[in-house]
Amino acid sequence: MSADEFWHGDPTLAKAYRRAHDYQNEQRNQEMWMQGMYIYDAVAVAISNAFGGKSAKKQKYFAKPIDLGLHEKTEQEKKRDEERELNKWITNLNAMKINWDAKHARQKTKGDALNGTN
């Protein structure tokens, strides 16, 4: 805000300039925080790969930038994300079913052994 605007302009402009300044500071703070996340991950990957040992799985840095959700997703992206979520659910449910079946098979085997039936 120029001195002329401050002294001769609309008094509400000072509040608007102050608010804009606060938003810029907040945005800069978010950018620096995100940069810290990238640096942290880069250092963690480097240290893990350097000192993880021969048997440890090699870590990889991000394949693409972190999505901040600032752009509108295309229909194709939305459909792909929905399919991924569905596949996760199906995989988890199948794992639960396998665990359930294994648990009940063990219980049935224990029960048969106690009853003397095989």
| Mean pLDDT in residue range 20-42 | 94
pTM above 0.85, yes or no: no
CA distance 48 to 40: 12
DSSP 116: T
Mean pLDDT of the residues in the chain: 86
CA distance 18 to 1: 9
Question: Is the pLDDT at 56 greater than 80, yes or no?
Answer: no
Q: How many residues does the chain have?
A: 118
Q: pLDDT digit string (tens) for 79-89?
A: 998 999 999 99
